[in-house]
């Protein structure tokens, strides 16, 4: 599965002509090597630069920013500074935006394009505030608007790959039609969360994702139900997708894509070095550790850890219990 910047074409030659060839190369190498693309999903509060750095140490091929609001991003430098942090090694990277206006999405894409390898339109967020604003998953019932947004962005930023993350609709037919409309608009690839806007924590509808894969000529990334290394191959076999996207599974175990069934202590050590080096806030620093140590700490130790209220206290705990301490260096 190889992306094309031209709608309806799926071939190596056109991919390699793109200015932003990193995403193209990911899919080309995936086919050549017989290995699926492994993607860290966009997550509010958690898809920050430090966490992106961490998962890429453990065989994550592609990361997304958290969902940013295209209108705010395009209008205000303060919003751009607050929402987006990056560094030269933070690649390949997709910037995800929520948008209901084609001009705002295209403008946000233009501003961020020097620092990323593609932009993604969020049509998967099910949160009530997003639905109320007319963005996120509710847009899946409006393929024409999605197509306008993707098409306009391609016109303004012809060398920048545009992708779309969707949820499935109630019927396979409508879901496939949505994916085909996205492809025809010029999208480079599609990420499909195999659940409807109303579904939570249920088995994904793998057959819907498979139907999309069978009816479009651009790569399809499956999202949903991948919580351990053992979940990856079955999801790919059931969907035929070109890769898997993972959210909660990577929060609990950032080394999941490297084959670990639970977070190795080296990964915890890496997080300490990365987070402190980047100046990560205490809340974010600790939240990630709570997720990562979920299956490591016994119940009584979790209570102790959860009551720690400073970075110094957390570091003392990790030092005393796991011989983990800040080493004043970034792992590579």
Cα(10)–Cα(7) distance, rounded to whole angstroms?
Answer: 9
φ and ψ at residue 96, rounded to 5 degrees: -105, 135
Retrieve residue 268's tokens.
């915890």
For the CA atoms of 297, 302, 308, 312, the dihedral, rounded to the nearest 10 degrees, stands at 0
* Residue 102 · residue 144 · CB < 8 Å: no
Q: Cis before residue 35, ω within 30 degrees of 0?
A: no
Cα(194)–Cα(47) distance, rounded to whole angstroms?
Answer: 21
Tokens 């000529």 found at: 217
Pick from 236, 171, 179: which is nearest to 212 by CA? 179
Retrieve residue 183's tokens.
């492809």
Cα(143)–Cα(178) distance, rounded to whole angstroms?
Answer: 6
Contacts of 167 (CB under 8 A, 6+ apart): 123, 124, 126, 137, 140, 192, 193, 195, 196, 197
Q: Is 326 helix (H, G, I), strand (E, B) or coil?
A: coil
Retrieve residue 101's tokens.
């206006």
User: Among the options 60, 125, 153, 267, which is catalytic?
Assistant: 125
Distances (CA, A) of 51 to 87, 134, 241: 13, 29, 25
Pick from 42, 17, 70, 7: which is nearest to 191 by CA? 42
Cα(21)–Cα(161) distance, rounded to whole angstroms?
Answer: 9
Pick from 233, 212, 198, 202: which is nearest to 165 by CA? 212
DSSP character at residue 194: S
Query: Is residue 140 flagged as an active site residue?
Result: no
Instruction: Give the residue numbers marked as catalytic.
Output: 125
């Amino acid at each position: 599965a190889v992306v094309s910047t031209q709608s309806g074409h799926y071939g190596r030659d056109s991919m390699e002509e793109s200015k932003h060839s990193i995403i193209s190369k990911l899919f080309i190498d995936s086919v050549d090597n017989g290995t699926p693309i492994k993607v860290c999903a966009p997550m509010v509060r958690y898809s920050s630069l430090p966490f992106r750095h961490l998962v890429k140490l453990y065989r994550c091929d592609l990361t997304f920013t958290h969902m940013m609001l295209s209108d705010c991003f395009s209008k205000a430098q303060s919003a751009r500074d607050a929402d987006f942090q990056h560094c030269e090694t933070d690649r390949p990277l997709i910037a995800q935006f929520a948008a209901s206006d084609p001009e705002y999405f295209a403008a946000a894409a233009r501003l961020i394009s020097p620092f990323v390898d593609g932009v993604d339109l969020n049509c998967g967020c099910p949160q009530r505030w997003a639905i109320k604003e007319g963005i996120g998953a509710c847009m899946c019932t409006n393929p024409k608007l999605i197509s306008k947004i993707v098409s306009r962005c391609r016109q303004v930023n012809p060398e920048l790959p545009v992708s779309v993350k969707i949820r499935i609709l109630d019927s396979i037919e409508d879901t496939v039609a949505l994916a085909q409309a996205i492809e025809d608009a010029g999208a480079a690839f599609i990420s499909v969360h195999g659940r409807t806007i109303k579904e939570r924590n249920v088995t994904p509808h793998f057959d819907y994702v498979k139907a999309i894969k069978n009816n479009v000529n651009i790569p399809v990334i499956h999202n949903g139900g991948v919580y351990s290394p053992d979940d990856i191959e079955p999801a790919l076999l059931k969907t035929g997708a070109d890769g898997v996207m993972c959210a909660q599974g990577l929060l609990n175990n950032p080394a999941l894509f490297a084959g670990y069934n639970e977070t190795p202590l080296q990964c915890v050590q890496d997080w300490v070095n990365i987070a402190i080096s980047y100046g990560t806030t205490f809340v974010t620093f600790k939240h990630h550790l709570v997720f990562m140590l979920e299956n490591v700490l016994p119940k009584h130790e979790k209570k102790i850890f959860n009551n720690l209220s400073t970075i110094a206290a957390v570091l003392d705990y990790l030092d005393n219990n796991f011989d983990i301490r800040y080493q004043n260096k970034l792992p590579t």
